[in-house]
Each structure stands twice: as structure tokens, then as C-alpha cells.
Chains A and B, each alone.
Chain A
Amino acid sequence: MEKRFRNGTLALRGVDLDIGRGDFLSLLGPSGCGKSTLLRILAGLIEPSAGSLDWPMAVHDSRGAAKPKLGFVFQEPTLLPWATALANVALPLRLEGMARSEREHRAATALARVGLAGFETAYPRALSGGMKMRVSIARALVTSPDILLMDEPFAALDEITRFRLNNDLLSIWQEAGFTVVFVTHSVFESVYLSERVVVMAARPGRVVREIAIAAPYPRDEAFRTSAEYAALCRTVSLCLGEAIAA
């Protein structure tokens, strides 16, 4: 698959990825390597210039197009500032035309899932950065997506908050079993979270290598401090170093 922007920049070249159902996959690379572009193509927000996306497992919708249900988490929380946490989480259901009581019930469940029970009526500005990101994740989960696409969701958070959100994301993923494609520029985060790290290089954006992270789940703070984790981070770091130099 390729993507060339209208200004002629080749953003992605020869990207060929297989993503299995229920995978946790990280896209890791320097800025400008097209990892966000790839994610936006997966989300259907932009079209690839060449090549295609196949969703063999997806249900066919009314127009006969095979498209899985998607959840998207942006780098910023991207919430409606004039709406409460509950209304923000219920937004995707509202756009689907679901009845008010039903969507509010589901939104409340999703908020509880990300640890925000009791914050239904809070407005985004009253929430901390980490809590806003939790609301954003709850909104992505509320439609019970098949695939969760995350674009550097924790990049703007402090490390302590990030670790907690990493753990919470893993436990939600393990229990729900959806597929995650996680864009990050943090080696440590990608190794900690994923089953597979896809290392990308820039100009033009391309996949350099895929590294399997074989460590078993559940992963916790013990894993974060283990020698195995350090060794994996080293491998991925070296690979990323080569990708940047290439």
C-alpha cells in the first residue's frame, strides 16, 4: 500500500501489514515516518493512493462494504468542551441515532470501565489530562469496536499517569479482546504494551522490521523492571536506531 499526498510527498511506500484479530500491535518510528498517516488510512479518514485494505473478518454493512467497527483515540483528548463526560462518551451512539436512555446507560458503563464512575456530569475543563484521556478512551470503547486505533494517546501525559493508563488499557484489552493498533514514538511503551512492534522509517515512510514481543500477559510493574523487558527494549531501540540512520 502506498500514500502520496497531493503536494507530491510520498508518505508511505510499500507498506504490507497483516493484523490478526485480537492483536496488540504498535507502530513505532521517528516523526515523519507516516505512522499516523497509516493509522488514518486504517480509520478510513484518508484514502491510500495505491493498494488496498482488506477486512476479511469484518461484517458487511448495509452498502455491502466490509468495514469493521472502529474506535479512534487521538493524541489530544479531543472532547466536546461544552458537553459533560457522559455526553461526550455517548456521542458516537448519538450519531448512530440510538435512543437517549440506552446510549446514556452504555456511556455510563464505558465511563465506569475506564475508572471514571461518578464523573458523568463533569465538564472536560474540570478534569485532569489523564482523566480527559480516559473519557476519550471510553468514547472509543462505547461502540464495542472490533479495532481500537490509537494515535500517540499518552504522549502528552506525565510518566506516572502514562504507566497507569498503560496498565488499564492492557486490562481492558485482555478482557474485551478487540484489536489494537497503537502509534507511539516511545520504545518502552511499545514493548510494554504490544505483542508485535512494527518499526518504521521516514522519507519515504516504510516498514523496516517487525519484532515480536513474546512476553506473556498480564504484564505488570514486575515485567517493566525485568531483564527480559530491558533486553527487548534494547533490541527495539537498536532497530529503531538503524531505521533512523537508514
Chain B
Amino acid sequence: MSEAIALPRVEEEARPRPAVRRVLGLSRDAWPRILMPLIIGIASLGAWETAVRVNEVPPWIVPAPSVIWATLLRDWHTLSVSLWITLQITFAALASAAGLGLLLAILFAQSKWIELSLFPYAVVLQVTPIVAIAPLIIIWVDDVRLALLICAWIVAFFPILSNTTLGLNSADHNLRDLFRLYRASRVQELFLLRLPAAMPLFLAGLRISGGLALIGAIVAEFVAGTGGRSSGLAYRILEAGYQLQIPRMFAALFLICVTGIVIFLVLGFVQHLLLRHWHESAVRREG
């Protein structure tokens, strides 16, 4: 092998990267994806504003977007504190869901018996409505923050567990044979084959869970908020409802939506960064 003569280099060329035309730093076909939803959004807001003004709808029924925006700026201090609390719970829930979901999925992949015995209970946890058990958790757990975190975690963790379990088991059978042929250890097989193979599904699960963690946090806050023991964005909504401060309710709602969208986009970007070299979902189609 050492004094091997190399074959002449293969003439075929690797598929050339298509030249991407850029406008203001973004590729040309990225623009419609940004502009079209933006146009629709602005048009709807304009229609809303006009309808409210023309019909003189009072702000405690439907506030105009301009009023909501003004309220958002005016109450930014209170709202931002609440937003920060909700964000902390959401990210803590997402991180622990990702960590524990991944660990549990790895455990499942190591032993069919563990998977068979535990997976049904994960399903039970998933199908139990969080609104129904949130009051119990809030009663049982003294620390409100921790109670909220547990609620959000329960909602967020299942997609990661089920997706990663599927991903770990979906490694190509020939590749598994190859690893066996070269006498790879279980750890080697896990890190060099199964985990990378599970990556696309894990990330897809993470993207679903990102939104769910936020929903879980909000729902739990609502439940806790009715007891007056919370201070996140959902509590602001409840509070504003009691006080008939409808514009503030909308402002808080707006912040929740924006948070959800940002989480979705950030996780999508992470997914793209990690998979762009190899996975079909992250590779631009040519032609």
C-alpha cells in the first residue's frame, strides 16, 4: 500500500455550486420570502387601523394598532420585566427538554427493554392536558418558577424524545454493519453514527419544542396567575383583562407572538448551520 501508484485523477467534476445573485447581501430568492409576508402584514394592519377609526370602535373592544403600539412603548418597563420572566422559563424549559429528551432517547437506543417499559409513560405525560395538571403542580411545588418550569418542560419534552428516538434508530443498516465489521465499540457507534444520523430529527423536534415551551410557560402562568402568584406575560394579560386595559392585553399578546417567531427563526437558523453540508432539508435545490 505504501508504494502504491495513484490512479489518474477522475475527470468528472464535482457538482459546481450555483452562483447566487445577491441583492443587498441576501440572495435574490430570499427577498420574496421576506417581502411578501411583510406586505400582507402591513396591509392587514392598515385595514385594521382604518376599520377601527372609521367605525369609531372603542379601544376596550378592539384597540387600533397605533394605540397598541403606543401602549407597548408606554408600558414597556412593566412589560419587559414580564417578558424577561417568561423568556427565562421558556428557555430553561427548552434547554432541559432538549437535554433530558436527548439523554432519555440515548438510553432508549441502548436498550430495547428500557424503551419498551418507559416510552408509554412518556406518551401518558404528553397526552395529559397541561391545563389540567398545572394547578396540581403549582400546589405541590412551592417555588412558583420551578412549578412553571416543570409545566413548560412537560409540554416541550415529548417531540424531542420521540424524534430523537426515531433518529437514533434510523441509522443506515449497512453503515451499522460497517461499524460492526470494524469492531466499533457502542460508544463509537453512538457518537460517530447514531447521534449524527439523529441530528436532523433532533433539530426538527427542537424546533417544535421551542414553540411548545413558550406555550407551556404561558399556559402555566395563566393557571398560576389566577392565584395571583405569577408575574410573566400571561399574568400581564390576565391583569389587563381584569382592569379592562385591552390595549395592554394586546401589547402583551404581541410580545408573545414576536417571541414565538424569534424562537422559531433562531432554531431554524441553527438547523441550517448544522445540516447545510449534508442533509437534503438544508441544501438549496438547484434549477
Contact = CB atoms under 8 A, between A and B. Distances in A.
> Chain B: interface secondary structure?
loop
Interface stretch (B159-167, B191-199, B221-229): B191-199
Interface in A114-132: 114-119, 122-128, 130-131
Interface size class of chain B, counting residues whose CB lies under 8 Å from the partner chain: 20 to 34
Nearest to A71: B181
Interface in A160-215: 168, 171-172, 175-176
Contact of A125 (B175, B179, B181, B278): B278
A116 B10 contact: yes
Interface string B1-38: 10011111110101100000000000000000000000
Nearest to B173: A78
Interface in A137-175: 141, 143-144, 168, 171-172, 175
A51 interface: no
A156 to B, nearest CB: 13
Interface stretch (B42-50, B87-95, B106-114, B182-190): B182-190
Contacts, number: 94
B183 A95 contact: yes
Nearest to B274: A82
A124 B280 CA distance: 12
A72 B278 contact: no
Given A81-B279, A123-B277, A141-B1, A43 B10 contact: no
A45 interface: yes
Interface in A90-128: 91-92, 94-96, 109, 112-119, 122-128
Closest 6 CB pairs of A and B: A115-B7, A112-B6, A81-B278, A78-B174, A115-B10, A144-B1
23 contacts: A45-B177, A70-B181, A72-B181, A74-B174, A76-B174, A81-B278, A82-B279, A95-B183, A95-B184, A112-B7, A113-B5, A113-B6, A115-B6, A115-B8, A115-B9, A119-B10, A122-B14, A125-B278, A126-B14, A130-B10, A131-B10, A134-B10, A144-B1
